[in-house]
Amino acid sequence: MRTLDWIVLGITLFAIVLYGVYKGRGSKNIRGYLLADKSMKWYTIALSIMATQASAITFTSTPGQAYVDGMRFVQFYLGLPIAMVILSVTAVPIFHKLNVYTAYEYLEHRFDLKTRTLTSLIFLIQRGLAVGITIYAPSLVLSVMLDIDIRITSLIIGGVVITYTTWGGVKAVNYTDFQQLLIITFGMIFALCATIYLLPKGVTFGDALHVAGGMGKLNLIDFSFNFDNRYNIWSGIFGGMFVALAYFGCDQSQVQRYLTGQSVTQSRLALLFNGAAKVPMQFFILLIGAMVFVFYQFSPPPLFFNPVESAKIQSSAYGTEYASLQKRYEEVFQQKSKLLQTYLDAEKSGDKHRIEEAGKNLNEIDKQAQGIRANAVEILKKNDTSIDANDTNYIFLSFVIKYLPVGLVGLIFACIFAASMSSSSGELSALATCSVVDVYKRHFKKQASDRHYLVVSRISMALWGVYGIAFAQYASRLGSLIEAVNILGSLFYGTMLGVFLLAFYFKWVGGTAAFIAAFVGEAVVLYCFKFTDIAWLWYNVIGCGVVVGVAVLLSLFFRPPVLSTR
């Protein structure tokens, strides 16, 4: 990065802190600090919801995913609009009517204290692990790309977030999220325009789409059904809907965003805006990845996109072997360039037979290039068994650093920092709220002044932030545990959603039935995870289904004891 990029990055980060501190001023009580006095307008909440959901990895990994796997990932979001409508009808009015601070508080109103505590603890464990990853993952990518120690990048992200969240509470979180998403949107629009602009002269946007499509990167919709296939329209609509229902309906980091709405109307509008805007937004980010892919069909890509690992292997005992692969990769690239021109000429002629023939040749040579890349990864693994062989996160940023104009590089990195901060700030405020409202106030200090709870909330917010930074500092030593932590999050959502569905729709089901069913549902999900190949998107459907089914059965057969919980 050049001086101007550092200036753009520095000014953006400084502006975020300043804006957060300014907007978060005046939170003098717990309601103001944790619920923003229920004063938020729908557009602030909507952008805050989207910013919290979109982590830094969304913006680094998603374009990389389109580069490697095509745009089919967009199907994962197809269930989200349906979930937004369902939640607008059910959860939003109930949460507003009961004036709750956390989603789990509602479960005590509906069931009992043990169910509230169980779900709140599940959330605290799951999100507590996630907040460390939310800081660690982008810190690692940024440290590699900017050539800075990971401790510094994680300290910058965590330090900035702690400053404005501890000071201003949820109000600061919502307003900075709003501002951060605007920065991200502009940054991404500029990135797409610059990528298209950087294509060789004579290659139009239409040509680029034909190349991407011909090489299988515009595979947006897949109607085939397969339980093991992670992304098809069915897993996207059904599995994705359950994920979104769980995330937006039971996860406090999202629920807290729309609990700050002035009214049911404002909260609903925010969720519905998210439902309408999320899919086009993901399409747009994936399109950037597809365009980067096309760009690298005309300009030689690196054999492996992680610059640190590439440098390491070149100076290792496997250096010669890797260099010969690199040479072969460059030769294949030259052959591919010629075939690409033939393909574009065929496209312009409109001759179907020629297009098919050229497309076939192009894909064959691309397979050769992919094979060389796979061999390179094998060598990297041989050299260092603990290496992260997935370079998807580095594809987009590697392109940004090498090819985008000065100033825009700083803006894109500011976007990645902003995205990381928006996610972790939402998580911190949610963790602090649950720790104080569901645990501290409910179990340890039931009667205390408002001022006391405000101070405890601030301390809790800061402590969760410090914990997140500490986790990020030591996460690299955890190795494959990081992956396990990521999977762990998806294992609990189905169970939590099941409990909430029981609360909303099954009025005759009591607290004990729901509590037992939650344990059974979790056991089934863990069994699926351990002993089957079912794609993780389906865990939410399975977990939720088992919880609802078991609770309903328990209520039918053991009605008197189950309902005697009151």
Residues in contact with other proteins by the rule CB under 8 A: 30, 74, 78, 81-82, 84-85, 88-89, 93-94, 97-101, 105-106, 108-113, 209-210, 212-214, 218-221, 233, 263-265, 268-269, 272, 275-276, 279-280, 283, 437, 441-442, 446, 450, 453, 507, 566
Comparing CB distances to other proteins, the nearer of 424 and 512 is 512
Per-residue exposure over 17-49, b if at least 16 CB sit within 10 Å of its own CB, e if not: bebbeebbeebeebbbbbbbbbebebebbbbbb
Whether 428 contacts 469, CB under 8 Å: no
Percent helix, percent strand, percent coil in the chain, to nearest 5: 80, 0, 20
Tell me if 512 sits within 8 A of 493, measured CB to CB. Answer: no
Confirm if 133 and 485 have CB atoms less than 8 A apart. yes
Task: Read off φ and ψ for residue 304, nearest 5 degrees.
Answer: -135, 130
Residue closer to other proteins, measured from CB, 507 or 530: 507
Q: Which of 159, 180, 162, 174 is nearest to 32 (CA)?
A: 174
Nearer to other proteins, 216 or 489 (CB): 216
Nearer to other proteins, 263 or 532 (CB): 263
**What single-letter amino acid sits at 544?**
C
CA distance linking residue 112 with residue 95, whole number of Å: 16
| Closer CB to other proteins, 95 or 322, in the complex | 95
CB–CB of 21/167 below 8 Å? yes
Q: Which is nearer to other proteins, 28 or 97 (CB)?
A: 97
Smallest gap from residue 211 Cβ to other proteins (A): 9
User: 17 or 270, CB closer to other proteins?
Assistant: 270
Residue number with CB closer to other proteins (373 or 442): 442
3-state secondary structure of 147: coil
Beta carbon of residue 200, minimum distance to other proteins (angstroms, whole number):
19
Rg (CA), the chain: 25
Q: By C-beta, is 280 or 405 nearer to other proteins?
A: 280
Nearest to other proteins of 95, 333 (CB atom): 95
Q: How far apart are CA 495 and CA 493, in angstroms?
A: 6
Report whether 238 contacts 544 (CB < 8 A). no
Question: Which residue type sits at 474?
Answer: Y
- Contacts of residue 411, defined as CB under 8 A and 6 or more positions apart, other chains included, come to 8, 12, 183, 186, 187, 190
Q: Classify burial at 230, counting beta carbons within 10 Å of its beta carbon; exposed 0-12, middle 13-18, buried 19 or more.
A: middle
Closer residue to other proteins (CB): 30 or 285: 30
Run of H or E including 188: helix 150-197
Give strand pairing partners of 239.
none
Interatomic CA distance for residues 257 and 342, integer angstroms:
52
CA distance linking residue 121 with residue 127, whole number of Å: 10
Closest residue by Cα to residue 108 from 515, 553, 543, 446 = 515
Q: Least distance in Å: CB of 565 to other proteins?
A: 9
CA distance 290 to 67: 5
Q: In the bound complex, what is the minimum distance in angstroms from residue 20's beta carbon to other proteins? A: 25
Closest CB 343 distance from other proteins, rounded Å: 13
Per the DSSP assignment, residues forming a β-bridge with 40 are 261
Tell the smallest beta-carbon distance from residue 313 to other proteins (Å): 36
- The least CB distance from residue 337 to other proteins, in Å, is 20
- Evaluated on CA atoms 241, 433, 416, 148, the torsion sign reads negative
In this complex, which beta carbon is closest to other proteins, that of residue 15 or of residue 552? 552
